[in-house]
Amino acid sequence: MDALGRLFSRPFLDLVRGQARCLRRAPDLLVLLFGLAVGWWLYVPVHELLHAAGCALTGGRVETLQISPLYGGALLARVFPWVQAGGEYAGRLSGFDTGGSTLVYLATDLLPFVLTLFPGVWMMRLAARGGRAVPFGISLPFAFAPLVSLTGDAYEIGSLAVTSMPAWSSAAKQALLRGDDLFRRAAFLVRADAVGEVWLGFALAVLFAVLWAFLTYALASAVATGLGQRPLRSMTPGRGGDDTWDGRR
């Protein structure tokens, strides 16, 4: 149970303890939020382009990648013929062909999260230890992407896992369960009067999404630790130093 507790608490402990190191003065919150805005602006188009790269590199075909003009969609459309400026999301790979391969589909979903493995968590801890609010803010979308994506890419990854199982592997059930928007998928199942077995598959996809997100962060934590940035510890008032902590994990 202790290992399970660490698995689910580590991202939040890193976030809270990192903020505590960076927010020393009143203006620091605004500085951190500025860094977060910059990080998100950078992360969105890079994330979406990596989706496209994951598809193309594994044998799929990219047809349409929508990126909001706010995140450079208009500029990127001049560079990549399959990029469209606009769409209802900040960014979305809305048209792609995997050739019916679940592995290509999975690679398409997974590739952007290499940025969590490196430099995301490593950069966040490095910035926190230096008390640097701007790079700490910039790192947050990269470090916490798996958790932020729980209702999007993470659900889709979970649905790919579920629909690879015999009970949910039919084309009809794949069409019902696979998607990159958990809430829309749930609404679709309601409209389709989905049977209990399909709802069970949906619940399992959500469970797999949660496990995948936290396990991905755990792997990124291990990578960061191996590169010299171990998990952040609580600061004890009145004492300094990176190794100062409160006795808890």
Query: What's the distance, CA 141 to chain centroid?
Result: 8
Task: Please give the pLDDT value at position 234.
Answer: 86
CA distance 67 to 83: 7
Q: Where are the domains of the chain?
A: 2-226
CA distance 175 to 194: 12
Place of tokens 């990159």: 180
The total of other beta-carbon atoms located within 10 Å of residue 76's CB is: 20
Q: Is the dihedral angle over the CA atoms 183, 109, 81, 142 positive or is it negative? A: positive
94: closest CA among 163, 86, 106, 171?
Answer: 86
- Indicate the residue type of 31: V
Mean pLDDT to the nearest integer, 150-174 = 97
Helices assigned H by DSSP within 151-233: 153-162, 171-177, 182-191, 196-226
Lowest mean pLDDT among 94-103, 107-116, 184-193, 240-249: 240-249
Q: What percent of the chain has pLDDT over 90?
A: 91
Task: Please give the pLDDT value at position 249.
Answer: 38
Split at pLDDT 50, 70, 90, the class of 235 is confident
Place of tokens 């039919």: 170
Residue pair 113/141 in contact by the 8 Å Cβ criterion = no
- For the record, the structure tokens of 199 come out as 């709802």
229-237 long-range CB contacts below 8 Å, 24 or more apart? Answer: 229/121, 229/122, 229/125, 229/126, 229/129, 230/125, 231/10, 231/13, 231/14, 231/125, 232/13, 232/14, 232/17, 232/18, 232/21, 232/125, 232/128, 232/129, 233/17, 234/17, 234/20, 235/17, 235/20, 235/21
Lowest mean pLDDT among 5-14, 154-163, 240-249: 240-249
pLDDT over 70 (residue 117): yes
